[in-house]
Amino acid sequence: GNSVTQMEGPVTLSEEAFLTINCTYTATGYPSLFWYVQYPGEGLQLLLKATKADDKGSNKGFEATYRKETTSFHLEKGSVQVSDSAVYFCALSFTGGGNKLTFGTGTQLKVEL
Amino acid sequence: NAGVTQTPKFRILKIGQSMTLQCTQDMNHNYMYWYRQDPGMGLKLIYYSVGAGITDKGEVPNGYNVSRSTTEDFPLRLELAAPSQTSVYFCASNLGGEVSETQYFGPGTRLLVL
């Protein structure tokens, strides 16, 4: 079956540090890939997505590139802020069949002053 | 546009009790989903629906039931609550169709079964 593996957290960084959260996937075929973010006490919201190989998704300074050869979709940000503290989920889905999402376990990010 | 709304926000149940978690969306989305989120885990799909009158099981459907009588509403029913159902439940919706669109999530319902 399909699966998503993320690096374990928590990840603790100082403000303005560089962020990488690793995500790899296992799937038959070529899924769409997503990063969702969950702020404390809230539901998930889409951060960025990529629908085909070599696509780069970007939003709010975050970026991730769909790498077919390494089955990866690592999340990066050049300079994190305290307000980026949240849990980040990598996910995949296939068009059709209900567009169901398969999630990774999430990575908690804590950014300190 | 309220998006996806869920009620209640928090509930405590005794073992064996039943309850319905409500979910409503006002975006005219065809697809709706129920997930549960356990501590330190990702979200697991319980049930989903691709339109009114159509529902299907997800990864962890045991102990739950759903119905979809309208496009807007997708209630989740817990019968005979068990401690293993202590979790945070999220409802989500998706426009659906041939393109994999963004899922929009509600704020969640925190359920504690004692």
The per-residue pLDDT for range A9-43, each reduced to its tens digit, is 899 999 999 999 999 999 988 899 999 999 988 88
Considering only CB atoms, A98 lies closest to which of B42, B56, B107, namely B56
Q: What is the dihedral of CA A30, A77, A106, A3, to 10 degrees?
A: 20
Buried residues in B47-61 as b, exposed as e (16+ CB within 10 A): bbbbebeebeebebb
| Structure confidence at residue B63 (pLDDT) | 96
Cβ neighbours of A13 (radius 10 Å): 16
Residues near A14 by beta carbon (within 8 Å), at least 6 away in sequence: A111, A112, A113
What is the average pLDDT value for chain B, to the nearest integer? 93
Structure tokens at A22: 């690793």
Mutate to test the interface with A, among B41, B43, B90 (most CBs of A within 10 A): B43
The whole-number average pLDDT for the span A73-80 is 97
Q: What is the mean pLDDT of the segment spanning B8-12?
A: 96
Per-residue confidence (pLDDT) for residue B100, from 0 to 100: 59
Determine the Cα–Cα distance for residues A106 and A103; give it in Å rounded to an integer.
8
> What's the Rg (C-alpha) of chain B?
13
Give the pLDDT score at B102.
84
- Residue A2 pLDDT more than 80? yes
Q: In 3D, which of B69, B71, B64 has the Cα closest to residue B93?
A: B71
- Evaluate if residue A97 carries a pLDDT over 80: no
Facing residue for B42 by CB, picked from A98, A99, A105: A105
Chain B closest CA to A15's CA: distance in Å? 24
Task: Give the mutation candidate from A100, A102, A108 for the B interface (greatest B CB count, under 10 A).
Answer: A100
User: Does A47 score more than 90 pLDDT?
Assistant: yes
Flag whether pLDDT at B18 surpasses 70: yes
B101 pLDDT above the threshold of 80:
no
Q: How far is B43 from chain A (nearest CA, A)?
A: 6
- Note the pLDDT of residue B99: 62
Region B63-89: mean pLDDT is 96
CB proximity under 8 Å: B 28-87 to A: 31, 33, 40-45, 48, 50, 56, 58
Cβ <8 Å between A94 and B42: no
The per-residue pLDDT for A99 is: 85
Is the CB of A46 less than 8 angstroms away from the CB of B102? Answer: yes
Whether residue B98 has pLDDT greater than 80: no
The b-or-e profile of A58-81 (16+ CB within 10 A means b, else e) is eeeebbbbbeeeebbbbbebeebe
Whether A106 shows a pLDDT value over 80: the answer reads yes
For range A3-8, the mean pLDDT = 92
The letter for the amino acid at B82 is A
Mean pLDDT computed over A31-57? 93
